[in-house]
């Protein structure tokens, strides 16, 4: 959004928040739910590109894509 300022985050901060959120939900979550949860956690806008990037880089290792725009945390054995 024009005029919206966002904080520069440390490397891995979005990923860590994603893991914490997905670990707290029962089942999967939509990108919209994830985005809203991260904004609530940080108390300010989060760059959508940062959320998409963290989701895309984590698929396979950290998260599983359960459907279009839906993700869940992979269970560790």
Return the CATH number at 59.
Answer: 1.10.10
pLDDT of residue 59: 82
pTM: 0.80
38/76 Cα distance (integer angstroms): 23
Residue 58 has pLDDT above 90, yes or no: no
Q: Is 30 inside a domain boundary? A: yes
Domain count of the fold of the chain? 1
Residue 69, beta-bridge partner list: none
Q: Is 5 inside a domain boundary? A: no
Domain span holding position 41: 13-73
pLDDT band at 77 (very low <50, low <70, confident <90, very high): very low
Q: Is 68 inside a domain boundary? A: yes
- Tell me the mean pLDDT in the region 33-47: 95
* Residues in Cβ contact with 33 at an 8 Å cutoff, skipping those fewer than 6 apart: 25
Q: Is 25 inside a domain boundary? A: yes
pLDDT of residue 12: 84
């Amino acid at each position: 959004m024009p005029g919206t300022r966002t904080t520069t985050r440390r490397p891995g901060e979005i990923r860590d928040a994603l893991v914490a959120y997905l670990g707290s939900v029962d089942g999967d979550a939509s990108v919209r739910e994830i985005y809203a949860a991260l904004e609530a956690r940080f108390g300010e806008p989060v760059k959508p590109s940062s959320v998409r990037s963290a989701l895309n880089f984590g698929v396979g290792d950290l998260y599983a894509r359960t459907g279009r725009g839906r993700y869940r945390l992979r269970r560790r054995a």
